[in-house]
Structure 1
Amino acid sequence: MSINSMIFLTAFLPVVFVLDRLCVRKTALKNILLLLASLVFYAWGEPVYIVLLLVSIAANYGIGLLLGRQRDESVAAKTVLAAGILVNLGILGYYKYFDFFLRIVNRLTGSEHEMRNIPLPIGISFFTFGAISYLMDLYRGHYEAEKNLLNMALYLSFFPKISVGPIARYRDFGPQLVNRQETVEKTAEGIRRFAYGLGKKVLVANIVGASVDKIYAQDITNVTGVMVWCAAILYAIQIYYDFSGFTDMAIGLGKMFGFDICENFNYPYLSGSIQEFWRRWHISLSSWFKDYLYIPLGGNRKGKVRTYLNLAIVFFATGLWHGATTAFIAWGALHGFFIIVERIGFKKILDKIGFLRYVYTGLVVLFGWVIFRVANLQPALQYIRRMLTPWQYTQSTYALRELIGNRCIVMAVVGVLGMGLLQVGIKRFCPTAEKLKGGVLELVYCMFLIAASMLLLVNGTYSPAIYLNF
């Protein structure tokens, strides 16, 4: 099941919401309800992997209890922590990277081991990283071990965030399991946030994405340089509205049930450097790697060379987290390379060149998205070559307008404005418009977003989240 599917919108969510409100001020009962709902939600599409989720929950609960009984930073505590991390990475590694490493073994040894083509369980990267952060922070003494198995299960399986994140930390989510408020104001805010996220995904990402798919479905010899540029720009719009839309829906759903889930985006395309981009894009992932990989490796405390090496490792891991292919590793390496270059001294130049720093950042991100979208390094480089020399590739059996329709153009314009330009403009030139938030006009607008989105979903334009595959 997906939080942008008709079965979720018309049946699952209304039923769970009403039952939750019937459990008046009984947090323990609400938690049981939400846990059962989350397990049904997860099992809906792939019931086999509900066992994997339950095993992960039980394992991390037990390891957490063992870790909580050890003295801080003792040898025993470090051993238990290491075992817990290995268990989680072992689960993730088997399902997500087994075939990837098997290909490497085949190439290095000349063997011909058969690929297993293991299906990827939904949300495995998200709930595994959530579990690791729980164990790491428990080891660091940020809180006591969770002794309630149901609470641990709800933390890892909560349906708004399990499939596409954000990666919630237990230190933020845990206290809300025993003490949270469900107010009319918070519920209304949650419904508004959900409506905006649904509109982002269905009205912008899906419509723009349809044109992106048409262009990339063509044989590369039939794609002009202009088409490749259009596809890259449209995909940048699509992936932002797709992922941030799901994040908005998750945050909105959380508020409807009394939870505050962490933010994941802060207008990343307004960034003036790649460093800034990663402070604004997929914030929960970048902060996770910072706290649980970069800093434990030494961060910037062991000299410049070690700092650059640590950054390279982090962005190698970032690319690998997104997918077990050389293309995703190259995408991570691209961002890591420019972050290192900026740390070496290029950032000082960027600070002096004004608007051009946004052009630089946009181009790096855009070329990166080509690699990300194609997900195969060799053809991705061919697309990039066409972008760099568009005058050499002008012939196609299709006209550009055949691949990019009017709806796509309209939604692309709306998308560009909604990436921060409109919001910044309103705050600067029309601050009184902020007072309209929460009023009748916003209510009507949110109702329109929900109605229009559901109409498109009924007509068969449903598509899963891009990050559902990670």
Structure 2
Amino acid sequence: MIDVNKLLEILLYQKDDPILFNSAFFFYFFAIFLLCYLAVGRSKEGRVWVFTIFSLYFFYKACGMYVGLVILSAIVDFNLSRYIYDSESKRQQKGLLIISIVLNLGLLFFFKYTDFFIGIINDLHLGKVEPLKLLLPIGISFYTFENLSYTIDVYRREIKPVDNFMDYLFFLSFFPKLMMGPIVRAADFIPQISQPYVLDAEDIGKGMYLIIGGLFKKVVISDFINQNFVQYIFDDPSKHTGLECLLGVYGYALIIYCDFSGYSDMALGIARWTGFKIPPNFDSPYQSSSITEFWRRWHISLSSWLRDYLYIPLGGNRKGKVRQYINLGLTMLIGGFWHGASWNFIFWGAMHGSALAVDKVRLDWLKKRGGGVTGWAGTLLKIGGILLTFHFVCFCWVFFKATTFQDSWALLHQVVYDFQPGVWLELYNGYTAVFWVMLLGFVLHFLPKRTEQFTEHALSRVPVVGSVVIMVVFIWLLVQVKSSQPMMPIYLQF
């Protein structure tokens, strides 16, 4: 007999157990969704309704009644964009755009930054205000930016507004990218809605590679290293030697990449299986030989969004070199603040902004000299650039990961003043499996692109039955190695 209470407990939102791509519940959810989606595959309206209903339920399972914010945001920007497009008055268009920007950023600001500024007021003794302790709606940073890019593009006459509200709600609530991105633009996504749903061998192979690879990065690499090593280091860096702290920072660099890119890959893979192609969000960022290249490879959707809707409107490189460097710094400072209401994130953004400005000076200097060094000297410089960029990024990750400035400086103090390289063997014996998984993670990250292409092509040639077997076997293996308590994705807090 079915236990109704148990069933309701599973189906209803649980604050301490949100739906995750690597949870058992999601596999059942996705299987049922896929069956329903395939059943209406020939009908554009059927696909939109099925996908939207499942997406809204997915969001409800992730953060409860905050699902209403997605619907409200869709209603507001769907109508405002149409008013903007239909208006013949430039002044009225600009006024409506400002309303959209204020409403979207106001909603984000209220949930994400209210307590931060209340803390500043209290710290400066300007008043005694009780923090609201608001629960941050999952995905709000991502769908807010998607709303903004849509209304701004309509205002610029780069796209026409959507005629059907359900199409826009579908775009905004699309569950694969709802929780952790990537930030998808309406101009790239909405035209695909009306295209016939055709799934070929390439889609199956590419989707399977992305889903399997994403799960592997998230569960096998990121969760394992985090749970068994890195979280101990960052909980109290002063209790660990400098060598442990340094390895903990290297571990975190791998964790945040595998965690975030793993989720992004799964989103791309699921989208591919349902007939949608979303641009990749990561491109082996630790292979970058400069900080400029790093930001072309890391969180690509955010980097390009900040470039097109913040850096360029600020003036970009059109108002002289000094102004360009200031614009770079401001863009990254705001990008840091987007990640969270914390001075650590602001400092992290400021460091990256300053580095980008300095690197721009270097690039301009090389351009005047006719380019960089070639041959073996150029290869050595490239390797040196990769090592320097990686360690600068790792230095900044310390502030990104640590809860407070005090914790950040405590970890760096240990690395500089209490390194103790002699504990290496003892450390290796205590964390053997962790270090081998870390090595595996970095080796996979630095594999050439052709390895990925070869694997995708091989999977695309596997028959459907074989694909199902591969997925089932992989999920079974995943269950054997995954932690009993699912690790929350890092970017869930943003």
Query: Do both proteins adopt the same fold according to a TM-score greater than 0.5, normalized to the shorter chain?
Result: yes
Deviation string, structure 1 residues 201-240 (Cα, Å, up to 9, x no partner): 11111111111112222x3331110011010000111111
Q: Confirm or deny that 1:194 pairs with 2:216.
A: no
Shift of 1:348: 5.1
Shift of 1:263: 0.7
User: Which of 406, 413, 434 is the matching residue for 1:408?
Assistant: 434
Amino acid across the alignment from 1:143: I
Which residue number corresponds to residue 25 of structure 1? 42
Q: Confirm or deny that 1:464 pairs with 2:464.
A: no
Paired positions, count: 460
Which residue number corresponds to residue 161 of structure 2? 145
Which residue number corresponds to residue 415 of structure 2? 387
Contact 1:225-1:394 at 8 Å conserved across structures? no
**SS of alignment partner, residue 366 of structure 1:** helix
User: Which of 226, 232, 238 is the matching residue for 1:214?
Assistant: 232
Deviation string, structure 1 residues 38-62 (Cα, Å, up to 9, x no partner): 0100001322211222211111112
Amino acid across the alignment from 1:354: K
Q: CA 1:435 to 1:149, structure 2 compared with 1: closer, same or farther past 3 Å? A: closer
Which residue number corresponds to residue 385 of structure 2? 357
Q: Confirm or deny that 1:366 pairs with 2:384.
A: no
Q: CA 1:445 to 1:363, structure 2 compared with 1: closer, same or farther past 3 Å? A: farther
C-alpha separation in 2, matches of 1:12 and 1:169: 26
C-alpha separation in 2, matches of 1:155 and 1:434: 27
Deviation string, structure 1 residues 168-207 (Cα, Å, up to 9, x no partner): 0000001012224331322343133211111111111111
Shift of 1:105: 2.5
User: Which of 318, 325, 340 is the matching residue for 1:323?
Assistant: 340
Q: CA 1:367 to 1:106, structure 2 compared with 1: closer, same or farther past 3 Å? A: same
C-alpha separation in 2, matches of 1:437 and 1:355: 33
**SS of alignment partner, residue 44 of structure 1:** helix
Deviation string, structure 1 residues 223-282 (Cα, Å, up to 9, x no partner): 110011010000111111111100110000001111111210011000011000000000
Q: Confirm or deny that 1:97 pairs with 2:113.
A: yes
Q: Confirm or deny that 1:4 pairs with 2:22.
A: yes
C-alpha separation in 1, matches of 2:225 and 2:450: 24
User: Which of 405, 417, 423 is the matching residue for 2:448?
Assistant: 423
**SS of alignment partner, residue 314 of structure 2:** coil
Contact 2:310-2:331 at 8 Å conserved across structures? yes
The 5 A counterparts of 1:43-442 are 43-71=60-88, 74-185=90-201, 186-210=203-227, 211-217=229-235, 219-345=236-362, 351-352=372-373, 353-391=381-419, 400-401=427-428, 405-419=431-445, 421-423=446-448, 436=458, 438-439=460-461
Amino acid across the alignment from 1:119: L
User: Which of 475, 478, 485 is the matching residue for 1:450?
Assistant: 475
Contact 1:223-1:393 at 8 Å conserved across structures? no
Amino acid across the alignment from 1:43: Y
Contact 2:192-2:276 at 8 Å conserved across structures? yes
C-alpha separation in 2, matches of 1:145 and 1:440: 41
Q: CA 1:265 to 1:113, structure 2 compared with 1: closer, same or farther past 3 Å? A: same
**Relative to structure 2, which stretch is displaced further, 308-317 or 101-110?**
101-110
Shift of 1:138: 0.8
C-alpha separation in 1, matches of 2:451 and 2:208: 23
User: Which of 52, 62, 65 is the matching residue for 1:35?
Assistant: 52
Deviation string, structure 1 residues 372-393 (Cα, Å, up to 9, x no partner): 1113222202212322334479
Deviation string, structure 1 residues 66-107 (Cα, Å, up to 9, x no partner): 1121238x1111111111011000000000001111222333
C-alpha separation in 2, matches of 1:456 and 1:221: 31
C-alpha separation in 1, matches of 2:111 and 2:407: 26
C-alpha separation in 2, matches of 1:255 and 1:41: 18
TM-score, normalization by structure 1: 0.92
Contact 1:242-1:465 at 8 Å conserved across structures? yes
Q: CA 1:24 to 1:53, structure 2 compared with 1: closer, same or farther past 3 Å? A: closer
C-alpha separation in 2, matches of 1:221 and 1:315: 30
Amino acid across the alignment from 1:31: V
C-alpha separation in 2, matches of 1:358 and 1:283: 19
Contact 1:207-1:407 at 8 Å conserved across structures? no
C-alpha separation in 1, matches of 2:224 and 2:24: 17
Shift of 1:122: 0.3
- The gaps in structure 2 that reach 5 residues or longer are 1-18, 374-380
Q: CA 1:55 to 1:212, structure 2 compared with 1: closer, same or farther past 3 Å? A: same
**Relative to structure 2, which stretch is displaced further, 157-166 or 181-190?**
181-190
C-alpha separation in 2, matches of 1:123 and 1:432: 34
Q: RMSD across aligned C-alpha pairs, in angstroms? A: 2.5
C-alpha separation in 2, matches of 1:15 and 1:446: 16
Contact 1:64-1:145 at 8 Å conserved across structures? yes
**Relative to structure 2, which stretch is displaced further, 229-238 or 432-441?**
432-441
C-alpha separation in 2, matches of 1:273 and 1:347: 14
**SS of alignment partner, residue 46 of structure 1:** helix
Shift of 1:436: 3.9
**SS of alignment partner, residue 251 of structure 2:** helix
TM-score, normalization by structure 2: 0.87
Q: CA 1:136 to 1:6, structure 2 compared with 1: closer, same or farther past 3 Å? A: same
Identical aligned pairs, as a percentage? 33
C-alpha separation in 1, matches of 2:240 and 2:269: 40
**Relative to structure 2, which stretch is displaced further, 160-169 or 21-30?**
21-30
Amino acid across the alignment from 2:208: I
- The gaps in structure 1 that reach 5 residues or longer are none
Amino acid across the alignment from 1:450: I
Contact 1:274-1:361 at 8 Å conserved across structures? yes
Shift of 1:339: 0.7
Amino acid across the alignment from 1:465: P
